[in-house]
Amino acid sequence: MKVKNSFYIFKKDWQEIYKNKEILLPIIILPILFSIIFPILLIGSALLIPPEEYNNGEGLADLIPFFQGQENEVLKIIIYYNINFLMKPLFLFTPMILTMVIASDSFAGEKERKTIESLLILPITDKELILGKVLTAFIPAIIATWAAFGAFQALIFFMTYDIFGFNLIGLDWYLLLFLFTPLLSFFSVILMIINSSRAKDAKSAQNVAVIIILPVISLFFLQMANIFVLDVINILILSGFLGLLDLLMIYLGGKQLNRDRLISRIR
Amino acid sequence: MTEIIRVENLSKKFINKKDKTEVLAVDSINFSVNSGEIFGFLGPNGAGKTTTIRMLACLLKPTLGNAIINGMSILEDQEDIRSIIGFLTENHGNYENLTVKQNLEFFGQFYNIQNINERIENILEQFEMLDRIDMYAGELSKGLKQRLALARTLIHEPKILFFDEPTAGLDPIAAVKVRELIIKLKSRNRTIFINSHNLDEVQKVCDRVGIIDEGRIKRIGTSDEISKNLWEFRILEIKLKKLSEEIISQLSKFDFIKEVFPINGSIRIHLKDLEEFTPIIIEKIVKLGGKIISVEPIEHSLEDIYIKLMEDTKINQQSGEK
């Protein structure tokens, strides 16, 4: 297998994406939204609430007992809750949406723009071709997410260190970003590429997005209600489960993605 | 001449996912193409032309049979075959958001071309497109898009070229330019396989043709060979200085002549063998005092051949149904 062939496809796809606003805009906007806008809104709103109105935050004390009795107890609980309960699952939307937008265009976009045959005629193996398409969606989604996380981490540190005296971003965040997120992105990429290979155009290829989005939305509400928390143990368990799903996707991808199937669907 | 493409009992079956019925798109076809030849593959829409060309270009796996391309099997040597062929698809297949140069760079880099930039400049010069090197492919006219597609197909100097409807959708001037390029390529000893339903185009550029319908090869050969095979009688047109009823009635008496009739100051004769009987006819006319201005055999055009074959298929189908 010549990996350089996959990189040629990756490079070409990115030259194309650079000119495609429908794909480029979410890649730029989403990380900014999740790394800067949301944290500022969540922390800023907590800071703007006058202390005398904190009474309503009492219910949260049971949720995060760690801060009980401390100075600025309710403020700390609200900020901690917003960052570690609300933001954590929200952060998963960035790689997921980006992989969906990019990967749904992978083969369906080539069909839509009638370039699929000239791509498939190249003297490369099916594996090199598919790896190229996986890289096109996976690498930028991960880089954008990690870059957003870097900005998010710096912003949180800058806005909350004086209040807490320690970094709010702990091991759970690192596991979520550097273990769980790549596994989730990979699953999302392969699923979207398989669907893209069957769909007529990129928009109809996005119809399976619900398979990935629904569990993440559920995760968001479960975490909000403190029913299932994304702590170190749970992230490791979920990562193990996703790892197995990824292996299944590699198997399914190997069966589903080949020239014969791709070309048979072109009329 | 050496055989460069040999197709052996090639078949392709598709399964209609909706009703699970099987569709036999190509049914046990056999033919060969010689090195340096332009071979035209003709047939109506849905006849199996595109499926055949896709199998030969290793894009589709055959259900049965095989094809040998330059000594390699389409069942086993797909990557090697794809590296020596060029395939011009029906839709130009250029990346419209990439410049002319980026398009050629992308396709060229898979073929290990030494000094790709020089090669790109050379090929664009050949195609009179060097001044458009930095233009986006989407900004080019239809004719230029097709020329870029041709340049892309030729970037690695392939031995065998597959063209799927190369002039579809082009204006007449752009189509003529593409045809000229195809003929130029033949002079450089390239083997060219053209899928088309443009009969005039195929007649103009192809050495031999294969006619396919409903997945089966109906005829293969030069249009002259197919014509001889299809029609029992050939047509001879003789222009005379003065047409006379006597000549027509005397010629009608020959048993090798099926029919004689006047047309625009000439006579048209339907006869069995041109080579054998033309001298006898000329001798007779001269004896009868006729003054001959010209003698010309009327060849059946590819269009006549095609229409006759398709009509024969229809007649056979109808008699089969009865």
Give chain B positions within 8 Å (CB) of A122. 82, 107, 110
Q: How far is A4 from chain B (nearest CA, A)?
A: 9
Collect all residues from B whose CB is shorter than 8 A from any CB in A.
14, 54, 57-61, 79-80, 82-83, 85, 87, 89, 91-98, 102, 106-107, 109-111, 136, 149, 152
Strands B160-164 and B191-196: parallel
Cβ-Cβ pairs closer than 8 A, A with B, add up to: 72
Q: How far is A230 from chain B (nearest CA, A)?
A: 42
Give chain B positions within 8 Å (CB) of A123. 79-80, 82-83, 110-111
Query: Which CATH code, of 3.40.50.300, 3.40.50.2300, 3.20.20.30, 3.40.30.10, is assigned to B3-227?
Result: 3.40.50.300
- In this prediction, what percent of chain A has a pLDDT beyond 70? 93
Most confident of A57-71, A192-206, B48-62: B48-62
Residue B41, SS3? strand
Residue B321 has pLDDT above 70, yes or no: no
Label residue B69 by pLDDT band (50, 70, 90): very high
Tell me how many degrees the CA angle A163-A169-A175 measures, rounded to the nearest 5: 170
Return the pLDDT at A57: 54
Return the pLDDT at A44: 81
Q: Do A118 and B93 touch (CB under 8 A)?
A: yes
**ipTM for the whole complex:** 0.83
Mutate to test the interface with A, among B55, B56, B70, B106 (most CBs of A within 10 A): B106
Q: Do B79 and A120 touch (CB under 8 A)?
A: no
Mean pLDDT of B54-78: 95
Q: Which residues contact A189 (CB under 8 A, 6 or more apart)?
A: A99, A103, A134, A137, A138, A141
Return the pLDDT at B124: 94
Mutate to test the interface with B, among A2, A12, A20 (most CBs of B within 10 A): A12
Q: Which residue ranges make up each domain of chain B?
A: 3-227, 232-298
Mean pLDDT of A89-111: 89
Q: Do B14 and A264 touch (CB under 8 A)?
A: yes
What residues pair up with B285 in beta bridges, in sequence order?
A: none
Q: A235-250 pLDDT, tens per residue?
A: 999 999 999 999 999 9
Query: What is the CATH number assigned to the segment(s) B232-298?
Result: 3.30.70.100
* Side chain identity at residue B216, one-letter code: R
- Whole-number Cα distances in Å, B30 to A266, B7, B191, B193: 25, 5, 18, 15
What residues pair up with B221 in beta bridges, in sequence order?
A: B209
Mutate to test the interface with B, among A10, A112, A120 (most CBs of B within 10 A): A120
Radius of gyration of the CA atoms of chain B, in A: 24
Q: How far apart are CA A105 and CA A204, in angstroms?
A: 10
Nearest CA in chain A to B153: A118
Label residue A121 by pLDDT band (50, 70, 90): very high
Give chain B positions within 8 Å (CB) of A12. 95, 98, 102, 106
Most confident of A34-38, B169-173, B206-210: B206-210
Q: Which residues contact A186 (CB under 8 A, 6 or more apart)?
A: A134, A138, A246, A249
pTM, two decimals, is 0.82
Q: B284-320 pLDDT, tens per residue?
A: 999 998 899 999 988 777 777 778 778 777 777 776 6
Q: Do B93 and A124 touch (CB under 8 A)?
A: no
